[in-house]
Copies of this chain bind each other. A is one copy, B any other.
């Protein structure tokens, strides 16, 4: 292993090792011991950078957010129809591939960890709701929502749908087929949008 002197750089190195483990073994394998081994560090050295499981999870969680935000920014800049854009953004929130499945694992492990191990909860930080809200607001601004839609209720409904899909994919591989997930999201968007929005695609 090359000598790494910079503190942040080594944390990043550890975070990457953590991700490799989660990708291959799921959160189940992400013990401090396994991560130290994967990163080529002693347990003591690892603890110097992340003293608790909490700190490590928070770091992995922030990585999920940063990466998703980057991808969503790229989609927002793309030259596709509003409906397609909405669908592509929603796909960033559900486990449609191995990488996003790892992100989903981290996300759920994080929120449950926060709920059961801590006194305070950190759900204010839920980025999924924010993204869903942006999508529904965007469809409304583009005048694509069906007349009479309650924007706030539709945001809650889509938010619940997205996290329900993620939850089920996590627990049941038969439910994590990429085609199936996209089909559900697409049919949901169609049900809340004017029929004109669809023919523009």
Contact = CB atoms under 8 A, between A and B. Distances in A.
A188 B191 CA distance: 10
By size class, the interface of chain A is 35 or more
Most chain B CB within 10 A, of A28, A121, A161, A170, is at A161
Contacts of A59: none
Contacts of A157: 161, 184, 187-188
A193 to B, nearest CB: 12
Most chain B CB within 10 A, of A123, A164, A172, is at A164
Interface string A177-199: 00010011001100110000000
A112 interface: yes
A164 B160 contact: yes
A150 interface: yes
Interface string A18-37: 00000000011000000000
Contact of A171 (B115, B153, B170): B115
Given A123-B171, A183-B153, A184-B153, A27 B159 contact: no
Contacts of A123: 171-172
A136 B37 CA distance: 49
